[in-house]
Amino acid sequence: MTGAAGFIGFHLSQSLVHQGTQVIGIDNLNSYYDPQLKRDRLAQIQDHQNFTFAAIDLCDRTELNTLFNTYQPETVIHLAAQAGVRYSLENPYSYVDSNLVGFVNILECCRYYEVQHLVYASSSSVYGANRKIPFSTDDPVDHPVSLYAATKKANELMAHTYSHLYGIPTTGLRFFTVYGTWGRPDMAYFLFTKAMLEGQPIKVFNHGKMRRDFTYIDDVVDGIVRLIDHIPQPHDEGNSNAPYVVYNIGNNKPVELLRFINVLEDALGLTAQKEFLPMQPGDVVETYADTQPLTDAVGFQAKTPIEVGLPKFVDWYRQYHG
Protein backbone atom coordinates (compact mmCIF):
# COMPACT_ATOMS: atom_id res chain seq x y z
CA MET A 1 0.00 0.00 0.00
CA THR A 2 1.36 3.41 -0.92
CA GLY A 3 0.66 6.41 1.29
CA ALA A 4 0.49 4.16 4.35
CA ALA A 5 1.31 7.02 6.71
CA GLY A 6 -1.32 9.25 5.12
CA PHE A 7 -4.83 9.83 6.40
CA ILE A 8 -6.72 7.19 4.40
CA GLY A 9 -3.73 4.86 4.08
CA PHE A 10 -3.20 4.70 7.83
CA HIS A 11 -6.84 3.89 8.57
CA LEU A 12 -6.98 1.28 5.82
CA SER A 13 -3.72 -0.32 6.93
CA GLN A 14 -4.99 -0.48 10.49
CA SER A 15 -8.22 -2.13 9.39
CA LEU A 16 -6.49 -4.68 7.15
CA VAL A 17 -3.83 -5.80 9.63
CA HIS A 18 -6.48 -6.30 12.28
CA GLN A 19 -8.35 -8.52 9.80
CA GLY A 20 -5.21 -10.63 9.40
CA THR A 21 -4.06 -9.24 6.05
CA GLN A 22 -0.33 -8.83 5.46
CA VAL A 23 0.30 -5.16 4.57
CA ILE A 24 3.50 -3.75 3.10
CA GLY A 25 3.21 0.00 3.57
CA ILE A 26 5.33 2.64 1.88
CA ASP A 27 5.42 6.42 2.31
CA ASN A 28 8.01 9.15 1.79
CA LEU A 29 6.88 11.08 4.90
CA ASN A 30 7.18 14.39 3.04
CA SER A 31 6.70 17.79 4.64
CA TYR A 32 3.54 18.94 2.83
CA TYR A 33 2.12 18.88 6.36
CA ASP A 34 3.77 18.06 9.68
CA PRO A 35 5.59 14.70 9.24
CA GLN A 36 5.22 14.11 12.98
CA LEU A 37 1.51 13.42 12.45
CA LYS A 38 2.46 10.79 9.86
CA ARG A 39 4.97 9.25 12.25
CA ASP A 40 2.37 9.22 15.01
CA ARG A 41 -0.08 7.41 12.73
CA LEU A 42 2.56 4.81 11.90
CA ALA A 43 3.28 4.36 15.59
CA GLN A 44 -0.25 2.98 15.99
CA ILE A 45 0.42 0.07 13.64
CA GLN A 46 4.13 -0.34 12.95
CA ASP A 47 4.63 -2.96 15.66
CA HIS A 48 1.79 -5.15 14.37
CA GLN A 49 3.08 -8.48 13.09
CA ASN A 50 1.13 -8.09 9.84
CA PHE A 51 2.56 -4.67 8.98
CA THR A 52 5.88 -3.86 7.32
CA PHE A 53 6.89 -0.29 6.54
CA ALA A 54 9.42 1.10 4.05
CA ALA A 55 10.24 4.78 3.60
CA ILE A 56 10.28 5.06 -0.20
CA ASP A 57 9.58 7.87 -2.63
CA LEU A 58 7.46 6.80 -5.60
CA CYS A 59 9.86 8.59 -7.94
CA ASP A 60 12.66 6.22 -6.89
CA ARG A 61 12.20 3.46 -9.44
CA THR A 62 15.09 1.37 -8.15
CA GLU A 63 13.81 1.15 -4.57
CA LEU A 64 10.24 0.59 -5.75
CA ASN A 65 11.31 -2.29 -8.00
CA THR A 66 13.36 -3.81 -5.20
CA LEU A 67 10.35 -3.71 -2.88
CA PHE A 68 8.04 -5.32 -5.47
CA ASN A 69 10.65 -7.97 -6.22
CA THR A 70 11.08 -8.73 -2.52
CA TYR A 71 7.42 -8.97 -1.52
CA GLN A 72 5.63 -9.88 -4.80
CA PRO A 73 2.32 -8.23 -3.78
CA GLU A 74 -0.91 -9.69 -5.13
CA THR A 75 -2.88 -6.47 -4.68
CA VAL A 76 -1.62 -2.90 -4.79
CA ILE A 77 -3.59 -0.11 -3.14
CA HIS A 78 -2.16 3.17 -4.36
CA LEU A 79 -3.16 6.07 -2.11
CA ALA A 80 0.03 8.14 -2.15
CA ALA A 81 -0.34 11.46 -3.95
CA GLN A 82 0.35 15.13 -3.62
CA ALA A 83 -3.04 16.29 -2.37
CA GLY A 84 -4.68 19.67 -2.14
CA VAL A 85 -6.27 21.95 -4.73
CA ARG A 86 -4.88 25.24 -3.46
CA TYR A 87 -1.32 23.99 -3.01
CA SER A 88 -1.28 22.97 -6.69
CA LEU A 89 -1.36 26.69 -7.55
CA GLU A 90 1.86 27.20 -5.56
CA ASN A 91 3.89 24.08 -6.26
CA PRO A 92 2.81 22.41 -9.53
CA TYR A 93 5.96 20.32 -9.94
CA SER A 94 5.20 18.42 -6.75
CA TYR A 95 2.02 17.17 -8.42
CA VAL A 96 3.83 16.14 -11.58
CA ASP A 97 6.47 14.20 -9.62
CA SER A 98 4.12 12.37 -7.25
CA ASN A 99 0.85 12.08 -9.16
CA LEU A 100 2.17 11.50 -12.69
CA VAL A 101 5.73 10.14 -12.51
CA GLY A 102 5.00 8.22 -9.31
CA PHE A 103 1.86 6.69 -10.79
CA VAL A 104 3.68 5.52 -13.93
CA ASN A 105 6.26 3.83 -11.71
CA ILE A 106 3.48 2.02 -9.82
CA LEU A 107 1.84 0.94 -13.09
CA GLU A 108 5.15 -0.39 -14.41
CA CYS A 109 5.71 -2.40 -11.24
CA CYS A 110 2.18 -3.79 -11.48
CA ARG A 111 2.92 -4.77 -15.06
CA TYR A 112 6.26 -6.48 -14.48
CA TYR A 113 5.34 -8.19 -11.21
CA GLU A 114 1.93 -9.39 -12.45
CA VAL A 115 -0.16 -7.73 -9.77
CA GLN A 116 -3.68 -9.17 -9.69
CA HIS A 117 -5.51 -5.94 -8.81
CA LEU A 118 -4.54 -2.27 -8.62
CA VAL A 119 -6.87 -0.09 -6.55
CA TYR A 120 -5.93 3.59 -6.78
CA ALA A 121 -7.11 6.94 -5.49
CA SER A 122 -8.75 9.37 -7.86
CA SER A 123 -10.79 12.35 -6.64
CA SER A 124 -14.16 14.06 -6.90
CA SER A 125 -12.17 17.05 -8.15
CA VAL A 126 -12.14 15.47 -11.63
CA TYR A 127 -15.75 16.64 -12.05
CA GLY A 128 -14.55 20.25 -12.10
CA ALA A 129 -17.40 22.68 -12.41
CA ASN A 130 -19.92 20.08 -13.67
CA ARG A 131 -23.42 21.35 -12.98
CA LYS A 132 -25.31 18.06 -13.34
CA ILE A 133 -25.82 16.51 -9.92
CA PRO A 134 -25.30 14.04 -8.43
CA PHE A 135 -21.93 13.47 -10.11
CA SER A 136 -21.94 10.21 -12.03
CA THR A 137 -18.96 8.27 -13.34
CA ASP A 138 -20.81 8.34 -16.68
CA ASP A 139 -20.46 12.14 -16.80
CA PRO A 140 -17.76 13.70 -18.99
CA VAL A 141 -14.83 14.99 -16.93
CA ASP A 142 -12.81 16.84 -19.54
CA HIS A 143 -12.67 20.28 -17.93
CA PRO A 144 -10.68 20.15 -14.66
CA VAL A 145 -10.36 23.47 -12.81
CA SER A 146 -7.12 22.70 -10.92
CA LEU A 147 -3.84 20.97 -11.72
CA TYR A 148 -4.55 18.50 -8.91
CA ALA A 149 -7.79 17.50 -10.65
CA ALA A 150 -6.00 17.21 -13.99
CA THR A 151 -3.42 14.82 -12.52
CA LYS A 152 -6.18 12.65 -11.06
CA LYS A 153 -7.99 12.49 -14.40
CA ALA A 154 -4.64 11.63 -15.98
CA ASN A 155 -4.27 8.77 -13.49
CA GLU A 156 -7.58 7.30 -14.64
CA LEU A 157 -6.48 7.52 -18.30
CA MET A 158 -3.10 5.98 -17.52
CA ALA A 159 -4.74 3.15 -15.56
CA HIS A 160 -7.07 2.44 -18.46
CA THR A 161 -4.13 2.28 -20.86
CA TYR A 162 -2.33 -0.32 -18.73
CA SER A 163 -5.56 -2.28 -18.26
CA HIS A 164 -6.05 -2.30 -22.03
CA LEU A 165 -2.46 -3.05 -23.05
CA TYR A 166 -1.42 -5.47 -20.31
CA GLY A 167 -4.66 -6.79 -18.83
CA ILE A 168 -3.98 -5.32 -15.38
CA PRO A 169 -7.30 -5.09 -13.48
CA THR A 170 -7.61 -1.53 -12.14
CA THR A 171 -10.19 0.10 -9.89
CA GLY A 172 -10.19 3.88 -9.50
CA LEU A 173 -11.91 5.58 -6.55
CA ARG A 174 -13.15 9.14 -6.74
CA PHE A 175 -13.09 10.17 -3.09
CA PHE A 176 -15.50 12.86 -1.88
CA THR A 177 -14.24 15.17 0.93
CA VAL A 178 -13.00 12.52 3.35
CA TYR A 179 -12.80 13.61 7.00
CA GLY A 180 -12.30 12.06 10.41
CA THR A 181 -9.82 11.18 13.15
CA TRP A 182 -6.09 11.41 12.32
CA GLY A 183 -7.10 13.63 9.39
CA ARG A 184 -5.10 15.99 7.20
CA PRO A 185 -4.27 19.37 8.79
CA ASP A 186 -4.79 21.21 5.48
CA MET A 187 -8.47 20.23 5.32
CA ALA A 188 -11.10 22.83 6.21
CA TYR A 189 -12.59 20.99 9.21
CA PHE A 190 -9.11 20.63 10.75
CA LEU A 191 -8.28 24.29 10.12
CA PHE A 192 -11.66 25.36 11.51
CA THR A 193 -11.16 23.34 14.70
CA LYS A 194 -7.66 24.66 15.28
CA ALA A 195 -8.71 28.29 14.72
CA MET A 196 -11.81 28.05 16.92
CA LEU A 197 -9.90 26.52 19.83
CA GLU A 198 -7.31 29.30 19.50
CA GLY A 199 -9.98 32.01 19.38
CA GLN A 200 -9.11 32.88 15.79
CA PRO A 201 -11.56 33.58 12.94
CA ILE A 202 -12.23 30.87 10.35
CA LYS A 203 -12.08 31.54 6.61
CA VAL A 204 -15.40 30.74 4.95
CA PHE A 205 -14.97 30.81 1.18
CA ASN A 206 -17.64 31.75 -1.35
CA HIS A 207 -19.39 33.41 1.59
CA GLY A 208 -20.45 29.99 2.83
CA LYS A 209 -22.45 29.16 -0.30
CA MET A 210 -20.87 25.75 -0.75
CA ARG A 211 -22.09 22.18 -0.45
CA ARG A 212 -19.85 19.17 0.09
CA ASP A 213 -20.45 15.44 0.17
CA PHE A 214 -18.53 14.97 3.44
CA THR A 215 -17.55 11.30 3.80
CA TYR A 216 -16.39 9.84 7.12
CA ILE A 217 -13.16 7.86 7.06
CA ASP A 218 -14.69 4.63 8.42
CA ASP A 219 -17.14 4.54 5.51
CA VAL A 220 -14.30 5.07 3.01
CA VAL A 221 -12.27 2.24 4.53
CA ASP A 222 -15.31 -0.05 4.40
CA GLY A 223 -15.75 0.70 0.71
CA ILE A 224 -12.12 0.03 -0.15
CA VAL A 225 -12.03 -3.23 1.83
CA ARG A 226 -15.12 -4.44 0.00
CA LEU A 227 -13.46 -3.72 -3.35
CA ILE A 228 -10.10 -5.39 -2.80
CA ASP A 229 -11.33 -8.83 -3.87
CA HIS A 230 -13.87 -7.42 -6.35
CA ILE A 231 -11.54 -7.61 -9.33
CA PRO A 232 -12.74 -5.94 -12.56
CA GLN A 233 -13.26 -8.23 -15.52
CA PRO A 234 -12.99 -7.32 -19.20
CA HIS A 235 -16.31 -5.90 -20.30
CA ASP A 236 -17.78 -4.15 -23.31
CA GLU A 237 -18.44 -0.56 -22.37
CA GLY A 238 -18.18 2.20 -24.94
CA ASN A 239 -15.01 1.57 -26.91
CA SER A 240 -13.21 -0.39 -24.21
CA ASN A 241 -13.20 -3.99 -23.05
CA ALA A 242 -10.38 -3.53 -20.53
CA PRO A 243 -10.60 -4.86 -16.93
CA TYR A 244 -11.05 -1.30 -15.69
CA VAL A 245 -13.62 0.49 -13.55
CA VAL A 246 -14.01 3.79 -11.70
CA TYR A 247 -16.36 4.36 -8.75
CA ASN A 248 -17.47 7.33 -6.70
CA ILE A 249 -17.03 6.79 -2.98
CA GLY A 250 -18.97 9.39 -1.02
CA ASN A 251 -21.70 9.95 1.51
CA ASN A 252 -24.35 10.63 -1.16
CA LYS A 253 -25.72 13.42 1.06
CA PRO A 254 -24.20 16.87 0.38
CA VAL A 255 -24.21 19.28 3.32
CA GLU A 256 -24.16 23.08 3.25
CA LEU A 257 -20.88 24.46 4.56
CA LEU A 258 -22.58 26.66 7.16
CA ARG A 259 -24.50 23.63 8.46
CA PHE A 260 -21.18 21.75 8.71
CA ILE A 261 -19.73 24.64 10.70
CA ASN A 262 -22.77 24.67 13.00
CA VAL A 263 -22.32 20.97 13.80
CA LEU A 264 -18.62 21.57 14.46
CA GLU A 265 -19.50 24.49 16.77
CA ASP A 266 -21.86 22.21 18.72
CA ALA A 267 -19.17 19.52 19.03
CA LEU A 268 -16.62 22.07 20.29
CA GLY A 269 -19.05 24.03 22.44
CA LEU A 270 -17.80 27.20 20.74
CA THR A 271 -19.11 29.80 18.30
CA ALA A 272 -16.89 30.49 15.32
CA GLN A 273 -15.84 33.95 14.25
CA LYS A 274 -16.50 33.76 10.52
CA GLU A 275 -14.49 35.67 7.93
CA PHE A 276 -16.52 35.47 4.71
CA LEU A 277 -14.34 35.44 1.59
CA PRO A 278 -14.83 35.00 -2.17
CA MET A 279 -14.38 31.69 -3.99
CA GLN A 280 -10.81 30.45 -4.25
CA PRO A 281 -9.26 29.61 -7.65
CA GLY A 282 -9.63 25.90 -8.44
CA ASP A 283 -12.51 25.40 -6.01
CA VAL A 284 -16.05 24.27 -6.85
CA VAL A 285 -19.42 25.20 -5.39
CA GLU A 286 -20.83 21.71 -4.85
CA THR A 287 -19.88 18.03 -4.78
CA TYR A 288 -22.42 15.22 -4.68
CA ALA A 289 -21.59 11.56 -5.32
CA ASP A 290 -23.79 9.11 -7.16
CA THR A 291 -22.68 5.96 -5.33
CA GLN A 292 -25.27 3.55 -6.74
CA PRO A 293 -22.75 1.66 -8.94
CA LEU A 294 -20.59 0.99 -5.87
CA THR A 295 -23.66 -0.15 -3.93
CA ASP A 296 -24.63 -2.45 -6.79
CA ALA A 297 -21.10 -3.87 -7.04
CA VAL A 298 -20.24 -4.54 -3.39
CA GLY A 299 -23.14 -3.37 -1.23
CA PHE A 300 -21.43 -0.15 -0.13
CA GLN A 301 -23.55 2.26 1.90
CA ALA A 302 -22.14 5.23 3.80
CA LYS A 303 -23.52 5.20 7.35
CA THR A 304 -21.96 8.17 9.16
CA PRO A 305 -23.66 11.59 9.18
CA ILE A 306 -21.65 14.67 10.17
CA GLU A 307 -23.56 14.75 13.47
CA VAL A 308 -21.70 11.54 14.36
CA GLY A 309 -18.42 11.98 12.48
CA LEU A 310 -17.51 15.51 13.56
CA PRO A 311 -17.81 14.87 17.33
CA LYS A 312 -15.55 11.82 16.88
CA PHE A 313 -12.99 14.03 15.17
CA VAL A 314 -13.22 16.69 17.87
CA ASP A 315 -12.71 14.10 20.60
CA TRP A 316 -9.60 12.80 18.82
CA TYR A 317 -8.27 16.32 18.16
CA ARG A 318 -8.54 17.30 21.81
CA GLN A 319 -6.87 14.08 22.92
CA TYR A 320 -4.08 14.26 20.33
CA HIS A 321 -3.26 17.92 21.00
CA GLY A 322 -3.66 17.63 24.74
Q: Helix, strand or coil for residue 5? A: coil
Q: For residue 171, what are the contacts with CB-CB under 8 A and spacing of at least 6?
A: 117, 118, 119, 120, 227, 230, 232, 245, 246, 247
| CA separation for the pair 103, 81 (Å, rounded) | 9
- Identify the active-site residue in 33, 148, 189, 317: 148
**How many CB atoms are closer than 10 A to CB 279?**
13
Task: Identify whether 288 is a catalytic site residue.
Answer: no
**How many CB atoms are closer than 10 A to CB 112?**
12
| CA separation for the pair 274, 285 (Å, rounded) | 18
203-239: burial string, b at 16+ Cβ within 10 Å, e else: ebbeeeebbbbbbbbbbbbbbbbebbebbbeeeeeee
What is the identity of the amino acid at 72? Q
Instruction: Cite the active site residues.
Output: 148
